[in-house]
Amino acid sequence: MSCLFCKIVEGAIPSTPVYQDPLCYAFADIHPQAPVHVLVVPREHIASMIETDQSDQALLGHLLLAAAEIARNKGLGDGYRIVVNTGNDGGQTVDHLHLHLLGGRAMTWPPG
Protein backbone atom coordinates (compact mmCIF):
# COMPACT_ATOMS: atom_id res chain seq x y z
CA MET A 1 0.00 0.00 0.00
CA SER A 2 1.77 3.09 -1.23
CA CYS A 3 -0.76 5.85 -0.71
CA LEU A 4 0.60 8.67 1.49
CA PHE A 5 -2.74 9.57 3.07
CA CYS A 6 -3.64 5.91 3.70
CA LYS A 7 -0.37 5.69 5.64
CA ILE A 8 -1.26 8.85 7.56
CA VAL A 9 -4.74 7.48 8.35
CA GLU A 10 -3.13 4.26 9.63
CA GLY A 11 -0.58 6.18 11.70
CA ALA A 12 2.36 4.71 9.77
CA ILE A 13 3.36 8.29 8.89
CA PRO A 14 2.98 10.84 11.69
CA SER A 15 0.57 13.76 11.44
CA THR A 16 -0.98 16.35 13.72
CA PRO A 17 -4.55 15.18 14.36
CA VAL A 18 -7.37 17.71 14.34
CA TYR A 19 -10.51 15.54 14.25
CA GLN A 20 -11.39 11.90 13.76
CA ASP A 21 -14.42 9.65 13.60
CA PRO A 22 -15.18 6.22 12.11
CA LEU A 23 -15.40 7.59 8.55
CA CYS A 24 -12.75 10.28 8.34
CA TYR A 25 -9.53 11.67 9.72
CA ALA A 26 -8.44 15.31 9.70
CA PHE A 27 -4.92 16.58 10.23
CA ALA A 28 -2.83 19.72 9.81
CA ASP A 29 -1.41 20.35 6.34
CA ILE A 30 2.39 20.11 6.37
CA HIS A 31 2.70 23.29 4.25
CA PRO A 32 -0.11 25.53 5.58
CA GLN A 33 -1.44 28.15 3.17
CA ALA A 34 -3.47 29.95 5.85
CA PRO A 35 -3.44 30.24 9.66
CA VAL A 36 -5.85 27.26 9.66
CA HIS A 37 -5.14 24.65 7.00
CA VAL A 38 -6.60 21.24 7.72
CA LEU A 39 -6.96 18.22 5.42
CA VAL A 40 -10.07 16.06 5.85
CA VAL A 41 -9.72 12.60 4.30
CA PRO A 42 -11.98 9.55 4.19
CA ARG A 43 -10.47 6.54 5.96
CA GLU A 44 -11.43 4.54 2.88
CA HIS A 45 -9.10 5.02 -0.09
CA ILE A 46 -10.84 6.96 -2.86
CA ALA A 47 -8.39 8.45 -5.35
CA SER A 48 -10.32 11.61 -6.24
CA MET A 49 -13.76 13.05 -6.99
CA ILE A 50 -13.36 11.54 -10.46
CA GLU A 51 -13.82 8.08 -8.93
CA THR A 52 -16.93 8.91 -6.89
CA ASP A 53 -20.51 7.94 -7.66
CA GLN A 54 -23.92 7.87 -5.98
CA SER A 55 -22.75 5.19 -3.54
CA ASP A 56 -20.44 7.83 -2.00
CA GLN A 57 -23.22 10.35 -1.33
CA ALA A 58 -23.37 9.84 2.44
CA LEU A 59 -19.58 9.77 2.83
CA LEU A 60 -19.11 12.97 0.82
CA GLY A 61 -21.77 14.73 2.87
CA HIS A 62 -20.07 13.48 6.01
CA LEU A 63 -16.72 14.95 4.93
CA LEU A 64 -18.29 18.37 4.31
CA LEU A 65 -20.05 18.35 7.67
CA ALA A 66 -16.84 17.26 9.40
CA ALA A 67 -15.03 20.22 7.81
CA ALA A 68 -17.80 22.58 8.98
CA GLU A 69 -17.55 21.17 12.52
CA ILE A 70 -13.77 21.64 12.53
CA ALA A 71 -14.25 25.22 11.29
CA ARG A 72 -16.64 25.89 14.20
CA ASN A 73 -14.16 24.36 16.65
CA LYS A 74 -11.38 26.55 15.21
CA GLY A 75 -13.47 29.69 15.66
CA LEU A 76 -13.82 30.44 11.94
CA GLY A 77 -17.15 32.23 12.36
CA ASP A 78 -16.19 34.90 9.82
CA GLY A 79 -15.89 32.30 7.07
CA TYR A 80 -13.48 29.90 5.49
CA ARG A 81 -12.86 28.02 2.27
CA ILE A 82 -13.26 24.32 1.49
CA VAL A 83 -11.33 23.18 -1.58
CA VAL A 84 -11.20 19.81 -3.31
CA ASN A 85 -8.44 19.80 -5.93
CA THR A 86 -9.31 17.09 -8.42
CA GLY A 87 -7.08 15.41 -10.97
CA ASN A 88 -4.26 16.90 -13.01
CA ASP A 89 -6.10 20.03 -14.14
CA GLY A 90 -7.43 20.54 -10.62
CA GLY A 91 -3.92 20.65 -9.18
CA GLN A 92 -4.31 17.49 -7.10
CA THR A 93 -0.91 16.20 -5.93
CA VAL A 94 -1.92 13.41 -3.52
CA ASP A 95 -4.19 10.78 -5.05
CA HIS A 96 -6.36 10.17 -1.98
CA LEU A 97 -9.49 12.33 -1.89
CA HIS A 98 -9.15 15.20 0.57
CA LEU A 99 -10.89 18.44 1.51
CA HIS A 100 -8.72 21.44 2.29
CA LEU A 101 -10.20 23.59 5.06
CA LEU A 102 -8.55 27.01 4.88
CA GLY A 103 -9.29 29.89 7.23
CA GLY A 104 -8.03 32.57 9.55
CA ARG A 105 -7.43 35.10 6.79
CA ALA A 106 -9.45 36.67 3.97
CA MET A 107 -9.28 34.56 0.80
CA THR A 108 -8.97 35.93 -2.71
CA TRP A 109 -10.88 34.91 -5.83
CA PRO A 110 -10.38 33.54 -8.43
CA PRO A 111 -7.87 30.89 -7.36
CA GLY A 112 -4.90 30.24 -9.64
- The reply to whether 45 sits near Zn ion by the rule CB under 5 A is yes
Return the half-sphere exposure (C-beta side, CA atoms, 13 A cut-off) of residue 73: 11
Instruction: Give the binding range for ligand 5GP (CB under 6 A) out of 54-62, 72-80, 87-95, 101-109.
Output: 87-95
Coil, strand or helix: which one is 89? coil
- The reply to whether 7 sits near Zn ion by the rule CB under 5 A is no
In the complex, least distance from residue 105 CB atom to Zn ion, rounded to whole angstroms:
29
Say how many residues touch ligand 5GP, by CB under 6 A: 13
Kindly give the residue spans of alpha helices, DSSP state H, lying in 1-112. 4-10, 57-73
